Each structure stands twice: as C-alpha cells, then as structure tokens.
C-alpha cells in the first residue's frame, strides 16, 4: 500500500486499490476502492495543525444544514493526517443544475447563529492553507476587517507579496467599513471558499460542496467568491436572489468581499494576486 495512506485512516477498510487523483494544491488525494464501496481520501505528509479537523468540522455542519438541493459528502473518518469521505461520482450539469444550486445555497444561508466567526469552539481555521482568526464577535464589520482584511494584508506585506502601501489603504478602508460591508444582516452559515473547484456535479446533475472554510459570516462572501474565478452560471445568482433576496447594492460589494481570497492567493502563490488586491482596495477609496 502507498506510504501516503495513513494507517489510521485506512485500517479495516479492506482497500483493494488506491488511485492517485490530480487537482489538489494543498494535499494528496486518492480514490479508494474497497470491498464495501468507493471512498475519497485526502492526506498530507506533514499537515498543518488542525487543518483536516477544521475541514471535517466544516463538512459536518454544512451537511447538517444543507437543504435537499445541494449535497455535502459524509465524513467517514478523520484525524490529524487526513480525511476519508464518501465518493461522489462526477457527471455533467443539467438544465436545472444552476437553479437548484442557487436555491440550495440560499437555504443553507438561512441557518443562523448569535455571533459571527467560529462554527464550534475552535478559534482558528483556514482559508486554503492560510490560518485565519475565528474568534466570535457580534459585529460583522469588525470580524471582516480585524479577522480577515487587516491580518491578511499585514502578512502579505511581511512576506513581500503586496506593496506596503496596502497597509495604509486598509486603514482608510477600515474607517468606512460600516458603509462598505453593506446593510447589517444576521450571521449566515457560509462555505467560505466557494470557488468553482469546490463544487462538484454528480451523475444526476446535482451540486455537492467540498473543501469548506466554514464559518458564521456574511452570505455575500460566498457569492463574491463564486465570481472570482468563474465556474458558475448566471442562473445560480438569479435563483438565489429569488429565493433569499439580497440587499441593495450587493453587486457593488463583490470586489470588497473578494479581498480576503485575493490576499490569501497572493500569500500562497504570489503572481499578480497582490496587484489585483491593491486595485480592489483602491476602487473603494
């Protein structure tokens, strides 16, 4: 058996074959064919502390609250070394795939909580492989600026991934956070990293959500992330807005809520992401 398959995750599964899968930037992935069925395994040789535990917790709470229109894989096993999930046989989108996703995401976002931040007792989580603060707060603007925008900008500056002028830009933006974050809304259960690669479509044309950075946050965060790299049809957003109407001006806030993922990509991958984040910051000044 491959040395990349931790014994704690595969013991007793009676694995017949482990097939490496492509597509992951952070971890190694395998299809596990066993005598009892097929599973998905995700692991990393030296995982960041709590990385997989946070993912497992996110999948569990999304699965708990997801309406019938969207699926979330069941966590079969998890520990510090990785995850074993139910296998989703991928297919192609059908004529109702995007509409159902929009309706389902709207239903998911109706789940609420008294505070923004942690979905459980853990006060730190991950956006990609970048650690983020999940300390709860009653204020969304405080959470977004002080738990996301400012610390990610400061890290990107320290690591030479963005022009140091970004620090002063964030100070100026923070003074207008109440305006820029939009009308107050109750905390919503969000996926947190909903780019196109974290949505699978199964053989029946249904959508499944994977690799979450789940938290209690502002629902526009998910909608903004969905538009950062594409992969979602316009029908998703129309169906969402019809099911759970968005606040006026939400499209004007898309770039605002794309700032954290842009900063994370600048930190992790460099390239032009830092410049893109700077342009987005300046567009709100």
Catalytic residues: 193
d(CA 71, CA 85): 13
From residue 175, give the alpha-carbon distance in Å to each of 143, 153, 209. 14, 16, 35
CA angle 174, 276, 270 (to 5 degrees): 110
Task: Name residue 90's beta-bridge partners.
Answer: 202
Secondary structure (DSSP) of 86-152: E---B----TTHHHHHHHHHHHHHT-B-SSBB-SSS--EEEETTEEEE---BS-HHHHIIIIIIHHH
SS3 (DSSP) at 224: helix
Count Cβ neighbours within 10 Å for each residue of 49-85 and write b for 16 or more, e otherwise.
ebbbbbbbbbbbbbeeebeebbbbbebbbbeebbbbb
Strand duo 70-71 + 207-209: pairing = parallel
């Amino acid at each position: 058996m491959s040395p990349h398959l931790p014994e704690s995750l595969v013991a007793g599964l009676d694995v017949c074959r482990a097939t490496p899968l492509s597509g992951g930037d952070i971890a190694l992935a395998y299809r596990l064919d066993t005598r009892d069925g097929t599973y998905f395994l995700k692991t990393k040789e030296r995982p960041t502390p709590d990385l997989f535990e946070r993912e497992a917790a996110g999948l569990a709470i999304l699965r708990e609250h997801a309406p019938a229109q969207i699926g979330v894989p069941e966590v079969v096993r998890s520990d510090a070394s990785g995850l074993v999930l139910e296998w989703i046989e991928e297919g192609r989108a059908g004529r109702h795939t995007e509409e159902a996703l929009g309706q389902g995401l709207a239903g998911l976002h109706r789940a609420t909580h008294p505070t923004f931040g942690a979905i459980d007792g853990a006060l730190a989580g991950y956006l990609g492989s970048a650690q983020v603060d999940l300390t709860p707060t009653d204020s969304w603007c405080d959470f977004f600026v002080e738990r996301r925008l400012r610390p990610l900008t400061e890290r990107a500056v320290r690591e030479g991934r963005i022009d140091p002028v970004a620090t002063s830009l964030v100070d100026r933006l923070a003074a207008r956070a109440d305006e820029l974050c939009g009308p107050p809304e109750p905390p919503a259960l969000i996926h947190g990293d909903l780019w196109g690669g974290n949505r699978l479509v199964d053989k029946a044309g249904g959508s499944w959500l994977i690799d979450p950075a789940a938290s209690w946050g502002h629902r526009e965060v998910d909608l903004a992330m969905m538009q950062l790299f594409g992969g979602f049809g316009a029908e998703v957003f129309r169906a969402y807005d019809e099911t759970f109407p968005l606040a006026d001006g939400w499209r004007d806030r898309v770039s605002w809520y794309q700032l954290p993922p842009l900063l994370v990509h600048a930190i992790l991958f460099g390239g032009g992401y830092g410049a893109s984040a700077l342009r987005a910051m300046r567009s709100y000044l």
